[in-house]
Amino acid sequence: MSTVCPGWGLFALESIHKGDYIGPYCGEVVYDAEADKRGEWDQYEKLFYLFSVDDEHAIDAKYFGNKQRFINHSASNPNCQPSVLSSR
């Protein structure tokens, strides 16, 4: 669904309760230095799909992400809380 903000929004068809698992945030795993470079360009486009995982890595969902990239994960007004799970 298109929104008044830049980009797209994701809306649930059923209630999501506090603490519910919504799904994985998928994308390309990059080092923070690369994420910083990409973030500069994203500011120009006003589309942000970078998610910081730890002190060294971020997930860039811009091109290879799933629908979770459209969930509002605003730092100032978040409507969900991330949980970082690792898999090796």
CATH number for position 41 = 2.170.270.10
Residue by residue, DSSP assigns 49-75 as -EEE-SSSEEEE-TTT--GGGGS---S
State the pLDDT at residue 29.
Answer: 93
Domain that residue 55 falls in: 1-11+23-73
6 three-state secondary structure: coil
In a domain, 18, yes or no: no
In a domain, 87, yes or no: no
Block residue for tokens 């605003």: 74
The angle formed by the CA atoms of residues 45, 51 and 57, to the nearest 5 degrees, is: 115
In a domain, 45, yes or no: yes
* 87 compared with 31, residue with greater pLDDT: 31
Q: Has this prediction a pTM greater than 0.95?
A: no
In a domain, 1, yes or no: yes
d(CA 87, CA 71): 22
In a domain, 69, yes or no: yes
Instruction: List pLDDT tens digits, range 18-74.
Output: 888 888 989 999 999 999 888 877 666 667 788 888 899 999 998 889 988 888 666
Q: How many residues are present in the chain?
A: 88
